[in-house]
Chains A and B, each alone.
Chain A
Amino acid sequence: MWILGYFTFKDLLYDRLRSLLTILSLAVVVVSYLLLTSLAQALVTLSRQAHVTNNLLILSANTIDPMDSSLDEGVLQTALKIAPEQIQLAFPILFRHLTIAGQIMQVRAVALEEMSTSVGLTLVQGDWPGGNRQVVVSEGAASLASWKIDSTVNIYGTDFQVSGLVRVDENAFGSVWMTYPEGQQLFGTKRGFQVGYLSLVPSADPESVRTRLLADPRISSGYSVFLEHAFTNGYNQSNSNLLTLSGIMVLVSLLVVTFGIYNAISLSLAERNHEISQLYVIGFTLNKLRGFLMARAMALTLAAYSLGWLVSLLFINHQRLQPSVDLIFQALRLTPSSSLFGLGLALVFAFLGVWLSSRRLMVLNPLTGSDR
């Protein structure tokens, strides 16, 4: 084994310029693969199924963008009357898509006590909005607009102070949150609120409550009722085309990795007919020769993958510091699973490349060093 390692090392070192060229060319396609995988990972996160909750949402009938919905307090009272034992809490949410600091963002107004409970915001820095003209912003929004705690955010001509940064679970990557009274004061009450949030008791079956609500003409005549996770999934799935496309590109880049490895191995074999014939003559078996070629290919692949992985990591970390992420695209992530999967595949391709290329060794004439 030691001899094999020494032999491989000496061979790569002797041919160092071309070994370097091979490593560089493979590393570059490894970077392509890892970047595309990271992008696909971000899209998977974006398109993933929402957490199943026990909550329902009410919106005006035939509205796609919640912003177009217009509800009044009466609809929440009606819902409470229809299923009083199943609905434990009903509260309104104001919703707007607005252009803030040159970016399209969601602005949501909700009762302060519901932010961390029903809505599921996690405060990661600062405080919840306590005083007048205060908002909390999502990490995505902060990254987009370069906001920090105490930054000033202008919404509808009114300046708000950022009191905290929050992490959001679902499709509110670039979002600004304020208390409900603050939202009413800002947007007025003419268009009511946009979303009615119904929190059910744990024992309730959301689908049966939804059916019950829609069976009542007071609800079905002008409103739609959604399971919260189904509504979120609908939005998440709208990006599924991008995910498919990204997946295809990952496969294509893997194909280039395969070709690159096969090329590198085939060429080194074609070039060494003479030396291999000599090794044959002095008693090296086919398996031993394959072992040498395998060690050479693995060393090249590992070196190229390590270099490619390092460059990708540096790029992705640099990219995460830039405010280039936005409402649709989350930050790229290089996960251990995708890195190891890529490494495993690269090694498998290297193995297959050696195996396929070395089949011709079986018909190699040791005397002439050429094919029969």
Chain B
Amino acid sequence: MMSEFLVILRLGVHDLFEHRRLLLIMSFSIAIATAMYTFLVAYRNGLSSEFNEQTSNLLVVHDNQNVGDITGSRISSQAAETLAGLGISMIIPEIRAVTGTSIQNATLLRGIDLAQYTRLESFKILSGRRLKPEDPPRLAMVGVLLADREDLKAGDRISLRGRDFTIVGIFQNDTYMDNQAWISLSAAQALLAWGQDVSVYIIPDEGILHDGGALPGGLSVTRKGGTLRLIAAQYQPMLNIWQIVSLALGLGVSLTLANVLWRLAWLRRREIAILRTIGFPTISTVAYLLVQAGGITLLGVLLGGLFTVVFTTGIRLTVSSFTIVPRLGLMTLLGNLGWVGLIMFAGSLLPAWWLSRLNLAQLLHSK
């Protein structure tokens, strides 16, 4: 049995080398389909991760129908009194705005309550330190994506609406906030000349107010992160097209692989018939095809991995001051291997089925 397998293995490898140019091109096709699929999944992961809230039990009070999670909301500080009057246990004000002179150099700004902001978001400090309640007003923390984009380090200065702020730390929390600059709430109010106004109040979902509710004075209550999902949804049609294309390419490659293996097996039909006549099992035909499919796929996967690395490190997708970082995890890699395996098996099974149906006697007569 072992020697039979070795003969089949040798025949398959021999044919791989004999048609090496063709098989190299086939490997390139698999590499491209694999790379596109991986690239798409990595960006989809990145998008859903960046526009996903870490906390699930918080509500945001903001201007009616506004995209207050990012920018645009401005409400009076009197709203805090209304909320306190309703018995809300925690009321944290924040300012969320966009600054800059054009959309190309826009910076997402967050004014945070220095005494309470660590209760809302978890983050790790990559360099420097976090902002503290006793800090003077012209200090800032910046997210790692903004720091990378603008080449900023702790100790550098960042200009916000024409005023310089000293960066005390670079943080990372793996969401869109990595694109933001955080300053104290009072500094943001002064910077925007808003007086005591804020953008939003963050409150706990403790059954007093509910997602979708309204308050007097044109205020809305929404679940924290609701607007983010709307923004992520803006990119969904494009990702859907990419997904269809990557699946179509996979199908196309699978069909081409089936065609290639079919034709290679057809060229070897007489040899395969002889082997079967002298006692090789029918499964040996499948093994012959799988050896070749495996060789092509292995090279394709290696090249695809290389393409993916080049794509994901070489292309930085920044749209309207949001940088989307592709994310590759273990599950993504396992999913990819499954995808490639599917291409390989689908491409091998059709010619195997076709070969098994052929009449052995006729094959022996073929030249």
User: Which residues from chain A sit less than 8 Å from chain B, CB to CB?
Assistant: 17-18, 21-22, 24-26, 28-29, 31-32, 35-36, 39, 62, 64-65, 67-68, 96-100, 102-104, 155-157, 191, 224, 234-235, 237-239, 241-242, 244-246, 248-249, 252-253, 255-256, 259-260, 262-264, 266-268, 270-271, 274, 315, 324-329, 332
**B283 contacts partner chain A, Cβ-Cβ < 8 Å:** no
Whether A99 lies near B22 (C-beta < 8 A) is no
A147 to chain B, nearest CB (A): 16
**B345 contacts partner chain A, Cβ-Cβ < 8 Å:** no
Instruction: Please indicate the chain A residues that have their CB under 8 angstroms from the CB of B252 in the complex.
Output: 25-26, 28-29, 32, 256, 260
B190 to chain A, nearest CB (A): 14
Whether A24 lies near B233 (C-beta < 8 A) is no
Instruction: Please indicate the chain A residues that have their CB under 8 angstroms from the CB of B365 in the complex.
Output: none
Whether A249 lies near B245 (C-beta < 8 A) is yes
Mask, B114-139, CB within 8 Å of A = 1, is 00000000000000000000000000
Of chain A, the residue at the smallest CB distance from B105 is A64
How many residues of B are in contact with the other chain, CB < 8 A? 68
Whether A263 lies near B319 (C-beta < 8 A) is no
Known: A62-B162, A68-B71, A329-B237. A263 touches B259 (CB 8 A): yes
18 A-B pairs whose Cβ atoms sit less than 8 Å apart in the complex: A24-B255, A25-B259, A28-B251, A28-B252, A35-B241, A35-B248, A36-B241, A62-B99, A68-B98, A99-B230, A234-B104, A238-B320, A239-B319, A241-B319, A270-B22, A271-B266, A324-B240, A326-B237
List the 10 shortest-distance A-B pairs measured between CB atoms, nearest first.
A25-B255, A28-B252, A29-B252, A98-B65, A25-B256, A64-B98, A267-B263, A32-B245, A32-B248, A238-B320
Majority secondary structure of chain B interface residues (helix, strand, loop or mixed): helix
Whether A99 lies near B66 (C-beta < 8 A) is yes
Q: Considering the chains assembled together, what is the distance between the CA atoms of A268 and B238 in angstroms?
A: 37
Partner of B249, one of A155, A244, A256: A256
**B72 contacts partner chain A, Cβ-Cβ < 8 Å:** yes
Mask, B238-274, CB within 8 Å of A = 1, is 1011101100110111011011101100110000000
Whether B99 lies near A64 (C-beta < 8 A) is yes
Known: A32-B245, A35-B241. A103 touches B230 (CB 8 A): yes
Whether B245 lies near A156 (C-beta < 8 A) is no
Instruction: Please indicate the chain B residues that have their CB under 8 angstroms from the CB of A98 in the complex.
Output: 65-67
Partner of B71, one of A65, A224, A237, A242: A65
**B176 contacts partner chain A, Cβ-Cβ < 8 Å:** no
Q: Considering the chains assembled together, what is the distance between the CA atoms of A100 and B230 in angstroms?
A: 11
Partner of B227, one of A65, A99, A256: A99
Whether B249 lies near A64 (C-beta < 8 A) is no
Interface residue stretch chosen among B25-33, B140-148, B285-293: B25-33
Mask, B314-329, CB within 8 Å of A = 1, is 0111111000000000
Known: A64-B99, A68-B71. A260 touches B66 (CB 8 A): no
Instruction: Please indicate the chain B residues that have their CB under 8 angstroms from the CB of A62 in the complex.
Output: 99-101, 161-162
Whether A252 lies near B36 (C-beta < 8 A) is yes
Instruction: Please indicate the chain A residues that have their CB under 8 angstroms from the CB of B103 in the complex.
Output: 64, 234-235, 237-238
Partner of B36, one of A24, A234, A249, A259: A249
A353 to chain B, nearest CB (A): 10
Of chain A, the residue at the smallest CB distance from B73 is A67
Instruction: Please indicate the chain A residues that have their CB under 8 angstroms from the CB of B318 in the complex.
Output: 241
Whether A256 lies near B317 (C-beta < 8 A) is no
Of chain A, the residue at the smallest CB distance from B39 is A249
Partner of B259, one of A18, A97, A246: A18
Q: Considering the chains assembled together, what is the distance between the CA atoms of A248 and B227 in angstroms?
A: 30
B118 to chain A, nearest CB (A): 28
Instruction: Please indicate the chain A residues that have their CB under 8 angstroms from the CB of B71 in the complex.
Output: 65, 67-68
Whether A263 lies near B260 (C-beta < 8 A) is yes
Of chain A, the residue at the smallest CB distance from B98 is A64
Whether A259 lies near B106 (C-beta < 8 A) is no
**B235 contacts partner chain A, Cβ-Cβ < 8 Å:** yes
**B102 contacts partner chain A, Cβ-Cβ < 8 Å:** yes
Whether A325 lies near B237 (C-beta < 8 A) is yes
Instruction: Please indicate the chain A residues that have their CB under 8 angstroms from the CB of B350 in the complex.
Output: 21
Instruction: Please indicate the chain B residues that have their CB under 8 angstroms from the CB of A328 in the complex.
Output: 234-235, 238
Instruction: Please indicate the chain A residues that have their CB under 8 angstroms from the CB of B319 in the complex.
Output: 238-239, 241-242
**B355 contacts partner chain A, Cβ-Cβ < 8 Å:** no
A322 to chain B, nearest CB (A): 9
A74 to chain B, nearest CB (A): 17
Whether A22 lies near B259 (C-beta < 8 A) is yes
Instruction: Please indicate the chain A residues that have their CB under 8 angstroms from the CB of B25 in the complex.
Output: 259, 262-263, 266
* Residue among B35, B249, B253, B318 with most chain A CB within 10 A: B249
Whether A260 lies near B29 (C-beta < 8 A) is yes
Q: Considering the chains assembled together, what is the distance between the CA atoms of A264 and B65 in angstroms?
A: 56
Instruction: Please indicate the chain A residues that have their CB under 8 angstroms from the CB of B64 in the complex.
Output: 156-157
Instruction: Please indicate the chain A residues that have their CB under 8 angstroms from the CB of B251 in the complex.
Output: 28
Whether B263 lies near A270 (C-beta < 8 A) is yes
- Known: A263-B29, A328-B234; 17 extra A-B contacts, CB below 8 A, are A21-B258, A24-B255, A25-B252, A25-B255, A31-B248, A32-B245, A32-B249, A65-B71, A65-B72, A238-B320, A252-B35, A252-B36, A259-B28, A259-B256, A270-B19, A326-B233, A332-B241
